[in-house]
Structure 1
């Protein structure tokens, strides 16, 4: 662990050196640093970085011994550095990497509800890709290292997509990435599965929000509600969505309007509350919402209502898996 911390600090030094030379954000310098390391060359455009910085970077890169680092270590370091980029650059909290335990929960449900299927998987708010890639790696491990999926990602932030592109490369996961507003029409047709940690907040383009039934009557509409509606519009018949959403959409005035609408549009499958300790205050609490689109092979069933009661991964996941198996057996008899 100490060695990983030392490596992290060495990488930070390399990124900051490039950041200062190019006068860019930490995130942009991070993307360029890994691009340099992966291609074994230091990119120079219009004289930047200058020769002195190129020489300094060459020395720093040599000390990293990048080519002899394992793919796992490279991927871990990049995830930690991405988290630092979000903090350093003062980015929106929506762009923070999703905790790995959430991806593990989604992978458990995918293996149970969509076993041994070739899946087209989309994340319409991919950010740096942490959630999608962690899910994909776990599915790959369960499938004897075979890629039994096609991955697609959408985001309106080009810098985050650059980070997602690097992360996919480091994880050896082929993906198609689209730079667009995910609340406009998608080029990706009929995904079998949509996984996403949805952005929370208000959507600023009122003219486009008018195209959605979940728009607000006054003022800006909630982006997370519009995203769910857009996901249902694009999801394949009988396809599944597994989403991290604000817990507030399930109750109160928002829930009273939204949940009956949602229940008419899809078959709710599971609602898994996340541990309270994951969030600084109650208003930020999130839950995992799982539903199936209507279609020939879709069916209504009792909704699994439970809570991931701990951040201790093995213990919490064992309890959840027991409940999942009991629920699945009951609803598929």
Structure 2
């Protein structure tokens, strides 16, 4: 069988990464950052020294389109993340990212120069997939605390020729950033260890550590313009947890709920990783709540007929409800 462009480029990147891994004795993900840098610049970084002659051939990126490059890099990152125990080292599945992009294009369809922010960008996969689907794009900004993930995100964006400004910082600290039109994020789930920083947030826990996913919702709201939108990939248990009353009250005060979409079980490896998508609009002087938010049980992404049916219903809902 003939190899696809994605498979061919992935093979090149994978061979490079494994060779770097043998030489540098680093993890696959850290070696991947060096391999991607080598692909981007066309030659290996100085730290490779004399080992350069042992490297496999470096692929010519001009032979591949942007989507092929994104998917090949994604496969390499997924390989590096196999068996990763840290929840934040799990990549947003491609199908989920495409769905977030579809929703983003719907809520911003009448806007120009859309400024987008992802406060927890990981390897940048969600952000690059979403921005691919937005026509009238302005500034794109991302925050990420993990040094390996942000290196991968920067290289990922460079290889796809996307202009994204990255902040390497704890994303629950203040950003030097004006509020944006759209926030998209796959929220980190778990406890936030910095209780002093958490005290700055309304959604902090009364005692013990606060939930990072709650604080990220508040931080996302802080950097959204009045009338702007937030499309957040949330843990399915978000509204059932012990601190959810506070979250409900906060959202009622600050935002209009546009929709909740329950993602299919088949999109996630384990039940505990199951996610939904929460769509919010930050309240502003010209905004009003919806009588009927969009509530959807998304079918399996592999069930084409059911997906086409649900997309037709959603398109009709956006036409009828969001344009009133």
Question: Could you tell me the TM-score, scaled by structure 2's length?
Answer: 0.90
Q: Which secondary structure does the structure 1 equivalent of 2:105 belong to?
A: helix
Question: Which of 291, 296, 308 in structure 2 is aligned with 1:318?
Answer: 308
> Following TM superposition, by how much is the alpha carbon of 1:107 offset from its aligned partner in structure 2, in angstroms?
2.6
Point out the more displaced range, 155-164 or 29-38. Answer: 29-38
Question: Which of 61, 66, 69 in structure 2 is aligned with 1:74?
Answer: 69
Question: Which of 83, 86, 96 in structure 1 is aligned with 2:90?
Answer: 96
- Tell me whether 1:107 sits opposite 2:101 in the alignment: yes
- Is the CA contact 1:247–1:285 (under 8 Å) kept in the aligned structure 2? yes
1:289 match: 278
* CA–CA separation in structure 2 for the residues paired with 1:108 and 1:95: 24
Q: Which secondary structure does the structure 1 equivalent of 2:296 belong to?
A: strand
Equivalent pairs counted in the alignment come to 319
1:182 match: 171
Q: Which secondary structure does the structure 2 equivalent of 1:108 belong to?
A: helix
The verdict on how the C-alpha distance between 1:200 and 1:74 changes in structure 2, with shifts beyond 3 A counting, is: same
* CA–CA separation in structure 2 for the residues paired with 1:11 and 1:280: 25
| Bigger helix share | 1
- Is the CA contact 1:238–1:297 (under 8 Å) kept in the aligned structure 2? yes
- Tell me whether 1:134 sits opposite 2:97 in the alignment: no
* CA–CA separation in structure 2 for the residues paired with 1:261 and 1:247: 18
1:158-194 deviation digits (Å, cap 9, x = unpaired) = 2111111111112221110000111111111111100
* CA–CA separation in structure 2 for the residues paired with 1:173 and 1:283: 33
- What runs of 5+ residues in structure 2 fail to find an aligned partner? none
- Is the CA contact 2:115–2:137 (under 8 Å) kept in the aligned structure 1? no
* CA–CA separation in structure 2 for the residues paired with 1:9 and 1:176: 29
The verdict on how the C-alpha distance between 1:68 and 1:243 changes in structure 2, with shifts beyond 3 A counting, is: same
1:7-59 deviation digits (Å, cap 9, x = unpaired) = 534432221211221232222221211212222222223xxx342x22111xx
* CA–CA separation in structure 2 for the residues paired with 1:150 and 1:190: 11
Point out the more displaced range, 224-233 or 28-37. Answer: 28-37
Point out the more displaced range, 27-36 or 101-110. Answer: 101-110
Following superposition of structure 1 onto structure 2, how do residues 114-263 of structure 1 map, counting pairs within 5 Å? Answer: 114-117=108-111, 118-139=113-134, 143=135, 148-251=137-240, 253-263=242-252
1:14 match: 16
- Is the CA contact 2:87–2:189 (under 8 Å) kept in the aligned structure 1? no
Question: Which of 288, 293, 298 in structure 1 is aligned with 2:287?
Answer: 298
> Following TM superposition, by how much is the alpha carbon of 1:113 offset from its aligned partner in structure 2, in angstroms?
2.0
> Following TM superposition, by how much is the alpha carbon of 1:255 offset from its aligned partner in structure 2, in angstroms?
3.1
Cα root mean square deviation, aligned: 2.2
* CA–CA separation in structure 2 for the residues paired with 1:188 and 1:262: 22
- What runs of 5+ residues in structure 1 fail to find an aligned partner? none
1:146-166 deviation digits (Å, cap 9, x = unpaired) = x52321110011211111111
- Tell me whether 1:61 sits opposite 2:57 in the alignment: yes
> Following TM superposition, by how much is the alpha carbon of 1:76 offset from its aligned partner in structure 2, in angstroms?
1.8
> Following TM superposition, by how much is the alpha carbon of 1:240 offset from its aligned partner in structure 2, in angstroms?
0.5
1:108-148 deviation digits (Å, cap 9, x = unpaired) = 32232211422110000001111110011122xxx3xxx52
- Is the CA contact 1:126–1:154 (under 8 Å) kept in the aligned structure 2? yes
* CA–CA separation in structure 2 for the residues paired with 1:119 and 1:85: 33
- Runs of 4+ with >6 A deviation: none
